[in-house]
Amino acid sequence: MVDKFFQPISGMELPRFAGIATFMRLPYVPEGHPRAGDVQIGLVGLPWDGGTTNRPGPRHGPRALRDASTMIRAQNGATGFRPFEKANCADLGDAGPNPVDGPDTLARFETYFAALHARGIRPLSAGGDHLCTLPVLRGIAKGGPLGLVHFDSHTDLYPAYFGGKTLTHGNPFRNAVEEGLLDPKRMIQIGIRGTTYDNIDTDFAKANGIRIVRIEELFARGIPDVMAEAREIVGTAPAYLSYDIDFVDPAVAPGTGTPEWGGPNAFQAIEVVRECRGMTLAGADMVEVSPPVDINGQTAWLGASLMFEILCVMAA
Ligand code: MN
Ligand code: MN
């Protein structure tokens, strides 16, 4: 039975430019709300970009994604799937960062997601930079390492930057593997391209059995073939989906800090998510949307559209 409370406000009832902007016009259900115990998938903003090594801005991502997501309707045009009728989805608000203290922010996020996990809520987060993924994984990978399907133009498998043990948006997945949060044999990274410092990231991938699909291979083989392999690698055990918007070509998605040319178009960006069908997602995120360098909000709109496609996989 469909729970009316958890249905998004339709544009047939209230125009989509009106009202308070929540993710996909879902109800706002913070902790302590009378219906908080009934949420199954929680949409969460992570307004933090303290892991950014170059151009900052994704701290403003959640607001822009919320605003753009008011254009989302209830039914997937391609598949006919209606995710809000399959799972109770709600906007949980933001996990609050400490913008001047990275380690404190990581600890706050981890505590937040561990609490969600304990309540049985699966998160779909909106970043924030890609370092936000690490504390999410620390919070939810409680039942053993997760599989990972990762769309990005970068591997984010680099060792510490600037000496010491500095965490950045360039190394969340290396740390997640080293901490036992992810099973490297059930990891696939798709869309990798651009100039690199060296091979230190791909050497780590090889040594640990992480599958990397460069953009040349994705285009040569085609999306359905590569994604069939992704479904095989990730399997049906619990997995995480992480989507860095810089996977998409910057002609389509310019609003991001580390763009790389030669990427997928908007249709292909959506298609790869639909091809994740059948995966058991313990959580997912959309990261690196940077409104200060966006044009006409187009990157935020694509990011919000991709969040809907991800939600369709999560709710199936
Ligand atoms: Mn990334
Ligand atoms: Mn990237």
Per-residue pLDDT tens for 85-126? 999 999 999 999 999 999 999 999 999 999 999 999 999 999
Paired strand residues for 91: 28, 43
Looking at residue 128, its pLDDT comes to 97
Whether pLDDT at 288 is above 80: yes
Mean pLDDT of 193-213: 97
The Å distance, Cα 263 to ligand 2 centre, comes to 11
CA 244 to ligand 1 center in whole angstroms = 5
CATH of domain 4-315: 3.40.800.10
Question: 3 C-alpha to center of ligand 1: Å?
Answer: 36
- What pLDDT, on a 0 to 100 scale, did the predictor assign at position 215? 98
3-state secondary structure the chain: CCCHHHCCCCCCCCCCCCCCCCHHHCCECCCCCCCHHHCCEEEEEECCCCCCCCCCCHHHHHHHHHHHHCCCCCCCCCCCCCHHHCCCEEEEEECCCCCCCHHHHHHHHHHHHHHHHHCCCEEEEEECCHHHHHHHHHHHCCCCCEEEEEECCCCCCCCCECCCCECCCCCHHHHHHHCCCEEEEEEEEEEECCCCCCCHHHHHHHHHCCEEEEHHHHHHHCHHHHHHHHHHHHCCCEEEEEEEHHHCCCCCCCCCCCCCCCCCCHHHHHHHHHCCCCCEEEEEEEECCCHHHCCCCHHHHHHHHHHHHHHHHHHC
For the whole model, what pTM was predicted? 0.98
Residues 147-198: pLDDT tens digits? 999 999 999 999 988 877 789 999 999 999 999 999 999 999 999 999 999 9
> Cα(169) to centroid of ligand 1, in Å?
6
Distance 94 CA to ligand 1 centre (A): 20
Task: Report CA(2)–ligand 2 centroid distance (Å).
Answer: 38
pLDDT at 190: 99
Q: Which residues surround ligand 2, an ion (CB under 5 A)?
A: 152, 154, 244, 246
266-274 vs 223-234: helix crossing angle, rounded to 10: 30
CA of 172 to the centre of ligand 1 (A): 8
Residue 208: the pLDDT is 98
Cα(272) to ligand 1 centroid in Å equals: 16
pLDDT at residue 74 greater than cutoff 80 = yes
Distance 200 CA to ligand 2 centre (A): 16
Distance of CA 123 from the midpoint of ligand 1 (Å): 18
Q: Where are the domains of the chain?
A: 4-315
- Residue 112 is predicted with a pLDDT of 98
From the CA of 51, the nearest ligand is: 1
CA of 187 to the centre of ligand 2 (A): 16
How many Å lie between the centroid of ligand 2 and the Cα of residue 246? Answer: 5
Q: pLDDT tens, 10-19?
A: 999 999 999 9
| pLDDT of amino acid 165 | 79
How much is the mean pLDDT over the chain? Answer: 97
Encode pLDDT of 137-147 as tens digits: 999 999 999 99
**Is the predicted pLDDT of residue 267 greater than 80, yes or no?**
yes
- Of the bound ligands, which one is closest to the alpha carbon of residue 242? 1
Q: How many A from CA of 156 to the centre of ligand 1? A: 6
pLDDT at 158: 95
What mean pLDDT comes out for the span 200-221?
98
CA of 151 to the centre of ligand 1 (A): 8
Instruction: Measure 153 CA to ligand 1 centroid, in angstroms.
Output: 7
